[in-house]
Structure 1
Amino acid sequence: MPEKSPDREAQRLETRQRVFDAAIVEFRRWGIDFADVDAIVDAANVARNNFALHFPTKEHILAELDRAEQDRMVEELTWFLSLPYHLSDLLAEVARLVVGVERRLGVVLFRDMLAFHFSPNRVRDTEWTTYPVVVLMIEALERAREQGEIHSGVDVRQGMLFFLLGLHALLMAVQDSAPDRETLLAALVTTTIRGFNPE
């Protein structure tokens, strides 16, 4: 099989990026279920078969967006973890990063992305435990347990999972404009910290 020329490969990647960008605009406007592939390829100025050539399904685009957002969060969280912090600061920072994703994507696409994690249509390339943000959190919580900041009998993986599920449920249920949203987020952090140190 002949190798692709650099020019052809660059053109392929540029077309793929146009399709991806147009799809994200369409997803933000209508949500993934109502996004129109014809509108996506028209906006990307490509033939319709280019969509399936680059992305077998709309869910594959969502999976790629999710990976990009995970990478962005990992970069910021890695920097945060390189500085001195308290356990409550770590959970508050994770909440801040997830809210940042919501603001970047918009409510419609953010909710679709959350639903995607629990969907049978999700592209099953990794398990949740291999998500880099989850891995970083588990490692940080295990270090905190070793240092005595978390009770030795606490299952930090379970605690982390409950925190993330609670965080995402709260963001789904309470709109960004709600006056008590920040209070509820702070209460989630406080409650999680108490669970890490049962009396």
Structure 2
Amino acid sequence: MSDLGAAPKGREARRRETHRRVLDAATEEYRARGMADADLGAIIAAAGVARGTFYFHFPTKEHVLLEIEAREEKLIAEELTRFLAEPHDLRDSLAETIRSIAAMETRLGRHLFKDLLSVHFSPTRPLTDEWRAHPVIGLVAGMIRDANRSGEAETMIDPYHSAVFFLFGLYGLLAITTGAAVLRDTVIRDYLDSTLRSLQPR
């Protein structure tokens, strides 16, 4: 019989468990203090590992953020996929995207949320076409593509580029309005309106 899909055993199982403990401990420390002020000693103590073990799993503090980003993106993509199982117009779909991303602040706390948003603009992040594989970008691109096909929207550029522009603008607005709920509501509403106007059929 094939072992495909079987749970890891032995050394691999222990490695994954250690990785999970280190990530969970780092996430809690980042939530409390933010990445810049995170105490590595507190992280390794909470995870019950040596300092070298932390660096084996996460060569830099930013690598922790990248993994948290991937985990959060997966969660958001799952929520959006469930939402999109029923038909929605472009406004409702983009509004749900905004709501799902903004909800990270409640899950992660203000410090970690701002760090996570800032990693999108990090000068040390590799510049590749990896964004095309990001599930949330793909879903937003699909929303725009479907709106194009139905005549609800019109864009002369690749829907993936439209999705990246929309999401990067959103990340920036969420970062500068963290902790300012009333201002955020106004700014994000205006941003959604302007995005939809820019996509209106000519």
Q: Normalising by structure 2, what TM-score?
A: 0.86
1:42-191 aligned within 5 A? 42-122=45-125, 127-151=130-154, 153=156, 156-191=159-194
Query: What percent identity do the matched residue pairs reach?
Result: 42
Cα 1:65–1:175, aligned 2, differ >3 Å: closer, same or farther? closer
Q: CA deviation at 1:123?
A: 6.0
Q: Which residue type is aligned with residue 148 of structure 1?
A: G
Unaligned runs of 5+ in 2: 1-7
Q: How many residues align?
A: 195
SS of equivalent residue, structure 1 residue 197: coil
In structure 2, C-alpha distance between the alignment counterparts of 1:110 and 1:63, rounded to whole Å? 12
In structure 2, C-alpha distance between the alignment counterparts of 1:163 and 1:83, rounded to whole Å? 22
Cα 1:195–1:155, aligned 2, differ >3 Å: closer, same or farther? farther
Contact 2:151 2:201 in 1 (8 A): no
Q: Normalising by structure 1, what TM-score?
A: 0.87
Contact 2:147 2:154 in 1 (8 A): no
In structure 1, C-alpha distance between the alignment counterparts of 2:188 and 2:115, rounded to whole Å? 21
Q: CA deviation at 1:15?
A: 1.6
In structure 1, C-alpha distance between the alignment counterparts of 2:141 and 2:23, rounded to whole Å? 32
Q: 2:29 is matched with which residue? A: 26
Cα 1:36–1:79, aligned 2, differ >3 Å: closer, same or farther? same
1:68-115 Cα offsets, whole Å, 9 max, x none, are 111111111111111011110011000001111122111111111121
In structure 1, C-alpha distance between the alignment counterparts of 2:34 and 2:92, rounded to whole Å? 33
Cα 1:123–1:65, aligned 2, differ >3 Å: closer, same or farther? farther
Contact 1:71 1:132 in 2 (8 A): yes
Q: CA RMSD in A?
A: 2.2
Q: Which residue type is aligned with residue 54 of structure 2?
A: F
Q: Which residue type is aligned with residue 42 of structure 2?
A: A
Cα 1:178–1:136, aligned 2, differ >3 Å: closer, same or farther? closer
